[in-house]
Structure 1
Amino acid sequence: MKTLTDYLGQYAEYHRDRRNIASHFIGIPMIVLAVAVLLSRPGLELGGLWLSPAALVALAAAWFYLRLDLRFGVVMAVLLAFCLWGGAVLAVQGTALWLGAGVGLFVVGWVIQFIGHYYEGRKPAFVDDLMGLVVGPLFVVAELAFLLGLRDEVRREVEERAGPTCIRERKAAI
């Protein structure tokens, strides 16, 4: 299995422009919440918990994150739990509200992502490796930690592989 810095470093190679990274702080949480919303139906309440396909996906993702790194994994598990809660709240609403919220978040989140990649001048990481879809949310959490001065040893390893972040002119359209 690849290490945390392997995954983050590979993902970071596609994300060095600060504007692109900033777009991910908005777009990726919207997409993750949208997936939780859309996968929260069908579901059933059991012992106060909403069991749905979203719960299974979140559990698998949390397990992946926890195996990579305990500290980031705990943060990711908590964030996924909030998304599951939001998904469950919307799943019991009317179909128009549930579907509108899920699809709306998903589409707007991806539009924001592609605007960021326009500035990057590079295609999204998942185009070359589907694991980018799973690593993206972790990348956002890691970048936030780096901005807060946390996990500097991880930041150094990621930058050693991918280079420092910068603001560059758009190289080419996606």
Structure 2
Amino acid sequence: MKNLVEHLSQYADYHRDPRNIASHFIGIPMIVVAVAALLSRPQWPVAGLGISPAVLLAVVAALFYLRLERALGLLMTVLLGLSVWLGQILAAQSTPVWLASGIGLFVIGWVIQFVGHYYEGRKPAFVDDLSGLIVGPLFVVAELLFLLGLRQGLKHEIEARVGAVRLREKNVSA
């Protein structure tokens, strides 16, 4: 099984243009909240808590992140919890509001992602490896930490494998 650096490096290889990374800062959180909202119905009462498919998916994802690294895993678990909480708020709305917000966030989030990949000049990572769907949110958090000057050792390990972030010039044929 891949470790943290291997997962993030594989994903980062598809995300070296800063415009693409910036699009992921917007698109991926939108998609995560959308999935949480859409999967927050139905809810089943278990020990006084509402358990939904969104909660179950968040637990599986949290376990994946915690297996990769405790510190990032804990941060991701908190962020997943916030996403599920927002998703449950949206799911508690009327059915038209719930569906419009969930589907709207999902579609707009993916459009933003594909715009970023236009600048990158590469297809999204999940096209070649479905694990990119779970690594994407972790990548965004790691990139945010790098921007804040944190986790520079991890950043250098990834860049040693896939290179630094850089603007890609689009080839324009005359």
TM-score range, shorter chain: over 0.9
Query: CA–CA distance in 1 between the matches of 2:118 and 2:90?
Result: 32
- CA distances 1:2-40 after superposition (whole Å, capped 9, x unpaired): 110000000000000000000000000000000000000
Displacement of 1:45 in angstroms is 4.3
Distance 1:171 1:81, change over 3 A: farther
Q: Deviations over 1:104-137 (max 9, x none)?
A: 0000000000000000000000000000000000
- Are 1:124 and 2:124 counterparts? yes
- Runs of 4+ off more than 2 Å: 44-50
1:150-165 alignment runs, 5 A limit = 150-165=150-165
Corresponding residue number in structure 2 for 1:79 = 79
Aligned partners of 1:50 and 1:88 also within 8 Å? no
Mapped partners of 2:171, 2:71: distance in 1: 36
TM-score (norm 1): 0.95
What displacement does 1:170 show? 2.5
Distance 1:162 1:132 in 2: 16
1:102 to 2:138 alignment: no
Q: Which residue of 1 aligns with 2:14?
A: 14
CA contact (8 A) 1:121 1:171 kept: no
Scaled by the length of structure 2, the TM-score of the pair is: 0.95
Deviation at 1:99, TM superposition (A): 0.5
Aligned length: 172
Partner of 1:63: 63
Q: Which residue of 1 aligns with 2:135?
A: 135
Match of 2:115 in 1: 115
2:26 paired with 1:35: no
- Displacement of 1:92: 1.8
Answer whether contact 1:120 1:171 (CA < 8 A) is retained. no
Q: Match for 2:153: what amino acid? A: E
Task: Measure the CA separation in 2 of the matches of 1:48 and 1:22.
Answer: 40
Consecutive unaligned residues in structure 2, runs of 5 or more: none
- 1:30·1:106 contact (CA, 8 Å) conserved in 2? yes
Distance 1:99 1:171 in 2: 40
Identity of aligned residues (%): 64
CA–CA distance in 2 between the matches of 1:9 and 1:125? 11
